[in-house]
Amino acid sequence: MADVKEVKSVKIAPFTLMTAGVQSILAFIGAILLLLFLSLLGAFMPTFGATMAWLGVAIVIIYPIAVFFIGIAVYFYSAFLYNSLVSRLGGIKLAMEGSNLMEIPIVNFALILAVIQAIWAFIVGLFLAALLAPTTSFLGSLVPLVSQAVVNATNMTGVVMPTGAVIRSIGVVEALFLIIGLPIIVFIGSFILYALVAIFYNFIVTKVSKIKLEFAAISGTLHELKSIPIIPAALAIGVLMAVFGLIRGIIYLILFSAAGYPLAGVSNLIFDVIFGFVVYFIIAALGAFFYNYLAPKIGGWKLNLE
């Protein structure tokens, strides 16, 4: 019988360092592949070959570093938010049977992750609204002057031009949407997405493969995730994303068929399923491999499981 454990808190520093480290390594691999693609493209476009090569080299250097430092900030604050919200919303629960992840209780998983996403959306929206305010204020002062100059120069009469008040009102509406509407939309969309992830894992993925999480007790309820067996994790994630690819492919199949291109819809459906499985199988396998490689060196995720 499965033993249900709740993640009551996450040790912020190990979680941040490990997650940002794995993400930056994956980003480096992606940048290398992009460099190879740009070099190949440059071979067919000699005029831009050197430019593409230098662009690829710059991406190889800058992209992984940017991913690491941005990841440090994002994962640090996300872990902090998780720890702060658990007492109010309840934490993620994992139904374990030995090292096998048998089930992910849906509501707890979707709710806390959706709230964290919504808080991030509020922060981003607040930042964008702060940038938008002076811009709309400037345009509100500039546009009427330009409009009047155009009217005077062309003798246009009876043409309604936007006033400064109208432009500023539009800016206020956009700012309110960014601060209020965007977090609500993100919360609803994230809750549905994470709920589907849990549902598909529980009822479809586990029929093929179960993610294995090898924990070791440290003290009391504190456990460290020592390793993630690669093949079960990669297979589970690949199947999960193939299911999402199937759903997306069916939607496009309906749209293509309605437009009179059913064969294109079928081709797209097959591609979405295969692409979703293969690409995410590889990404998950690499992520698990690098986690296992780094865990003994920098420490794995440390979770309070009750």
**Least confident segment among 24-38, 108-122, 228-242:** 24-38
Structure-block tokens of residue 272: 């979405």
Core vs surface per residue 163-190: b (16+ CB within 10 A) or e: ebeebbeebeebbeebbeebbeebbeeb
Q: For 76-107, what is each residue's pLDDT tens digit?
A: 999 999 999 999 999 999 999 999 999 999 99
Residue 97 near residue 1 (C-beta atoms within 8 A): yes
Q: Would you state the pLDDT for residue 299? A: 93
DSSP string, 133-194: HHHHHHHHHHHHHHHHHHHHHHT--S-----HHHHHHHHHHHHHIIIIIHHHHHHHHHHHHH
* Token representation of residue 300: 């794995």
Sheet holding 3-10, edge to edge: 100-103, 93-97, 3-10, 302-305, 222-227, 214-219
**pLDDT tens track for 207-240:** 999 999 999 999 999 999 999 999 999 999 999 9
* SS3 of 23-59: HHHHHHHHHHHHHHHHHHHHHHCHHHHHHHHHHHHHH
The answer to whether 252 touches 265, Cβ cutoff 8 Å, is: yes
Domain residue ranges of the chain, discontinuous segments joined by +: 1-98, 107-195, 212-306
Mind listing the pLDDT tens digit for each residue in 248-274?
999 999 999 999 999 999 999 999 999
- What is the spatial distance between Cα 219 and Cα 214, in angstroms, rounded to a whole number? 16
Residue 145 has pLDDT above 60, yes or no: no
pLDDT band for position 19 (cuts 50, 70, 90): very high
236: helix, coil or strand? helix
- Distance in angstroms (rounded) separating the CA atoms of residues 231 and 237: 10
Whether 83 contacts 115, CB under 8 Å: no
Q: What angle do CA 6, 116, 114 make, to 5 degrees?
A: 80
Q: Is the pLDDT of residue 120 over 90?
A: yes
